[in-house]
Amino acid sequence: MYFQFTEEQEMIRQAARDFAQTELKPGVIERDEHQTFPAEQVKMLGELGFLGMMVSPDYGGAGMDAISYVLVMEELSKIDASTSVVVSVNNSLVCYGLEKYGSEAQKQKYLVPLAKGEKIGAFCLSEPEAGSDATSQRTTAIDMGDHYLLNGVKNWITNGNSASTYLVIAQTDASKRHHGINALIVERGMEGFTVGHKENKLGIRGSDTHSLMFTDVKVPKENRIGEDGFGFKFAMNTLDGGRIGIASQALGIASGAYELAMAYAKERRAFGKTIADLQATQFKLADMATEIEAARLLCLKAAWLKDKGLPYAQASSMAKLYASEVAMRTTVEAVQIHGGYGFVKEYHVERLMRDAKITQIYEGTSEIQRIVISREVLR
């Protein structure tokens, strides 16, 4: 690994930082409080090329590398994790999955508008009884010859009500277990497809998380991604990249909380000095800085491996596991350093603390990451 960013990577990071400060920070508290989806901000991110960052320019993308993606996710997540998760899902799960495994026709029809930011995508795996256990899909896609008949319910779907293109994982032949699962491209507006209620969440409240219902939805055979039975492998391979995005989101949340705690500690006075002069505060800040830097290096290593075309499943799981736990510890300490003010919305750290928790849950819980990592190291 080379530890100095290129001039282009630095420019991309600065662009994301400027956007976060000028476009995301104003109104972020209100969007959180009222659960308002950042539609205008997402549209602008699409115009900047941040919704199809790693997609080839041949398909409307920006052609950036995974390291640049980590830098962008960190900067956006420092300010607004509800917006950064839209960037993460569209890039890591939807665009990546289509570009890597989709047919040329699928790429032209679906990937191009997604990469250009003209449309938003959603990745539909989780169900009421099939979250971490992805083999237990209750959503079915029955082979009807020239189409699949899709029935079932998906839960916790990010961009659920904002997306136009949905990648849906469904069971075609339960007797084959994970070999009987397919990945289908479903379009908003298909007959029988309805968006359910919006979840009232602890954190990332600006992100629109919905349940989706499919009732005899006719999905053309040409909308299947890959060969028959490829769906489980598609989901698992796609999630490996998704974990880099969520690890970077966790990193950004932690980094944002740390910067706020540092600034507050330098201003707040107690016992005749700033609280930054107190050793108890200094120890907290030292631990926060060290853990954040370690999380950052794990994220960058996973991205570097991905850019080099090397196996990165273990690295992305390590990054996601560690960064999410650092995000939780750092935000709790940031609230503590702020004292009573940390409990007040206008100081931002209580929101970052609430946002941090989800990074330990989605794209596979911390326990699931430990299973993935232990499987790799014991292999």
- What ranges do the domains of the chain cover? 7-120, 122-231, 239-378
CB 140 within 8 Å of CB 130? no
pLDDT for 71-113, tens place per residue?
999 999 999 999 999 999 999 999 999 999 999 999 999 999 9
How would DSSP label each residue in 229-296?
Answer: T-HHHHHHHHHHHHHHHHHHHHHHHHHHHHHHHHHHHHH-EETTEEGGGSHHHHHHHHHHHHHHHHHH
Higher pLDDT, 363 or 189: 189
In this prediction, residue 377 carries a pLDDT of 93
pLDDT digits (tens, 9 = 90+) for 46-55: 999 999 999 9
pTM: 0.96
Domain 122-231 has CATH 2.40.110.10: yes
Q: What is the mean pLDDT of the chain?
A: 96
Query: Given 3.80.30.20, 3.30.70.60, 1.10.540.10, 1.10.569.10, which CATH number is that of 7-120?
Result: 1.10.540.10
Q: What is the pLDDT of residue 132?
A: 65
How confident is residue 135, by pLDDT bands cut at 50, 70 and 90?
confident
Q: Express as a percent the part of the chain with pLDDT over 90.
A: 93
Q: Mark whether 127 is an active-site residue.
A: no
Q: The tokens of 256 are what?
A: 């944002």
The whole-number pLDDT of residue 379 equals 85
Residue 174 has pLDDT above 90, yes or no: no
**Multiple choice CATH, 239-378, 1.20.140.10, 1.20.1250.20, 1.10.3720.10, 3.90.1150.10:** 1.20.140.10
The CA distance from 373 to 351, in Å, is 30
| Mean pLDDT score, 321-336 | 98
Q: What are phi and psi of 316, to 5 degrees?
A: -70, -35
Question: Is pLDDT at 220 greater than 90 in this prediction?
Answer: yes
- pLDDT score, position 363: 83
Q: Among residues 33, 363, 367, 376, which one is catalytic?
A: 363
